[in-house]
A and B are shown apart, each in its own frame.
Chain A
């Protein structure tokens, strides 16, 4: 990784939004506690007819697609070799890391007998017929790969940090409690030199993990579609097709690019940084090609299975199908116009439409188009929703925190094209690299 491309965001950590998000997280923690004591039924509206609710549908099936930015941009940078997108990659990997890590966390909330999860690693229990087995192993492996991909940023910060906060904290302690100053300094120095020793070694083999980080999502995102192949009699024919794995794969890539656009625009807006318009309009040019392929497969498949009539019947299922289809289609049409691709506003609007449409597709497959038979109904309960909300809050919280601690965001001088930004660049360098002060 090329650390010069990235910088820390300088700002206070304990902001108002920090505490608001923290409150949401704590509410979620309370409900998870309730779930552990009194069973899943106590907090959720899931039933024997709808054994998979919003936790699986949003947090896992949709959440991992939303977290596919790291995957989608990695394809672009390392396989397509468009290095000018490299400045986006670290924040993408960070959000992917959170997305996948928290999907894993909510699976642990969702599983009825999580203490038995070790059976995934017991060869005699391996079950190669099960799509879920493949999804589970790939997602676990990918989460580890994401952490490894992000590790250079953390090692770099450890190496260059002054440890000012830690030292202030120690200085503030009572003399009895405070550890020996000399020992502390040499300890810090040891940690830092270990990080400095590890980082170049990791950098050398990192490409193999990066490629693994492309292969694994290709596998498990398509497998997420295969999951519902078995529900031939329950999933509405509008969505049940042998093309589910392929549709899910393309779907996650265009959602991934759209999310990169949204994350970049939102964080630029929130952190008052200039928009990365050049990179984003490039991404916006790729999305409509993917969605057009996707939409044509959907239509062609429906026609082939003689379901086009059902798609325009305007009943419950048909309406959800049409909304999903229209959202993706309108979003793509906007992006086909070159002028729109250069306007942050239009890019934002179409990315929102495409993420909503693509996400709705996953909801349709996992929940809305799923009909276990007469008498069963599902709508998530408040507690169930709060657990999901708190997981999202935790994700945003972690992102806010890490971009302030670790160089993640693209360095500003990459975007201005003009000279005036040079100064900012130099200032930042000085802020990040005061090494001598500590060494002395």
Chain B
């Protein structure tokens, strides 16, 4: 009885055997995989030491992208009419936000959040209907509401928690920065926030120029900065780079591995489904077994003889 049972489940999970082989293979080769960076893509450099927290970028972003993003005001409790816009985080109503980090007896620091425009974005990798796309030339990660089904897998996947969902709408959208792709960038050649910044804390440009600029700032003022360009290597490199005088983790920028999340997941998924060969093979083999069983035991289909077996 026992032996038969073991055969039972071996056959049952035989189809999953390929998975067993795949998982360690993907893990082992993950270290070798290195993303080829495209430093010609567009991005921004935010220098927290230069930011004065005026939030001109926030209001410029909302003014420019209000219609494009279907944004509204985040109402405060004292303000039922919605005259004030008082977001307390990135929400379904704003694509960027400035926050102030305060620690006693230490220098304070502002920080700006918005989409990081990853070189290998997890949100684009997981979107089942390609509503999120990465432009091959500009590197802009954009969102198409006309395709999006609202599954929110992008929110699960994003290591920075950037995409936001309009929870209070009957026809909700995903909200995230697209470097003013269809608004300011098209007209003026830069982003609204970089254009509005009075203290040049936000630079817009190609990734290689931004990296160069950030590097020279680190060199010229070594005491002022944490000696690191955040975003240079995180999750395979992102196009929205940061400089700061306060440890990045304290500013809410998570400590992340250098490997892009999609490298791991896509490797396993693609190995299983490469060319759809494995599923077709599985189906064919199962069909053959089932047909043979049916033929061989045609009389056994009668319950009595099945019992006797």
Q: Which residues of A contact B (CB under 8 A)?
A: 2, 4-5, 36-42, 46-49, 51-52, 72, 75-76, 78-81, 83-84, 86-87, 110-114, 116-117, 119-120, 122, 124-134, 136, 207-208, 210-212, 214-215, 218-219, 222-223, 226-234, 241-243, 245-246, 249-250, 253, 285-286, 289-290, 293, 370, 372-373, 414
Q: Which residues of B contact A285 (CB under 8 A)?
A: 1-2, 5
Q: Which residues of B contact A133 (CB under 8 A)?
A: 128-129
Tell me if B170 and A242 are in contact (CB < 8 A). no
Stretch from B7-15, B100-108, B192-200, B212-220 at the A interface: B7-15
Q: Which residues of B contact A81 (CB under 8 A)?
A: 293, 296-297
Provide the bound-state CA to CA distance between A110 and B167, in Å: 11
A79 with B289, Cβ < 8 A, contacts A113-B171, A129-B125 known: yes
Tell me if A214 and B286 are in contact (CB < 8 A). yes
* 22 CB-based A-B contacts, threshold 8 Å: A5-B303, A39-B168, A76-B8, A81-B293, A81-B296, A81-B297, A83-B301, A111-B149, A113-B145, A120-B129, A131-B265, A133-B128, A134-B273, A136-B128, A207-B291, A208-B287, A211-B283, A215-B279, A232-B257, A234-B159, A241-B23, A373-B254
Tell me if A127 and B306 are in contact (CB < 8 A). no
Q: Is the interface of A mostly helix, strand, loop or mixed?
A: helix
Provide the bound-state CA to CA distance between A414 and B303, in Å: 8
Decide yes or no whether B37 CB sits under 8 A from chain A: no
**Which residues 1-28 in B have Cβ within 8 Å of A in the complex?**
1-2, 5-6, 8-9, 11-13, 15-16, 19-20, 22-24, 26-27
Among B131, B149, B272, find the residue whose CB has the most chain A CB atoms closer than 10 A.
Answer: B149
Decide yes or no whether B248 CB sits under 8 A from chain A: no
Provide the bound-state CA to CA distance between A134 and B270, in Å: 11
Residue of B nearest to A221 (CB): B16
| Interface residue tally for chain B (C-beta within 8 Å) | 88
Tell me if A242 and B122 are in contact (CB < 8 A). no
Tell me if A222 and B272 are in contact (CB < 8 A). yes
Q: Which residues of A contact B309 (CB under 8 A)?
A: 83-84
A48 with B148, Cβ < 8 A, contacts A40-B172, A230-B156, A249-B13 known: no
Tell me if A119 and B157 are in contact (CB < 8 A). no
Decide yes or no whether B38 CB sits under 8 A from chain A: no
Provide the bound-state CA to CA distance between A80 and B12, in Å: 8
Partner of A39, one of B13, B27, B166, B266: B166
A48 with B159, Cβ < 8 A, contacts A5-B303, A129-B262 known: no
Task: Kindly provide the distance from the CB of B232 to the nearest chain A CB, expressed in whole angstroms.
Answer: 18
Task: Kindly provide the distance from the CB of A203 to the nearest chain B CB, expressed in whole angstroms.
Answer: 11
Task: Give 1 or 0 for each of B114-138: 1 = CB within 8 Å of chain A CB.
Answer: 0000000010111111110000000
Task: Give 1 or 0 for each of B134-167: 1 = CB within 8 Å of chain A CB.
Answer: 0000000000011111111101110101011111
Tell me if B268 and A111 are in contact (CB < 8 A). no
Decide yes or no whether B261 CB sits under 8 A from chain A: yes
Partner of A373, one of B127, B145, B161: B161
Provide the bound-state CA to CA distance between A224 and B92, in Å: 28
A127 with B261, Cβ < 8 A, contacts A218-B16, A222-B16, A289-B8 known: no
Decide yes or no whether B184 CB sits under 8 A from chain A: no
A119 with B269, Cβ < 8 A, contacts A230-B157, A289-B8, A293-B13 known: no
Provide the bound-state CA to CA distance between A113 and B24, in Å: 37
Provide the bound-state CA to CA distance between A102 and B196, in Å: 50
Tell me if B268 and A130 are in contact (CB < 8 A). no
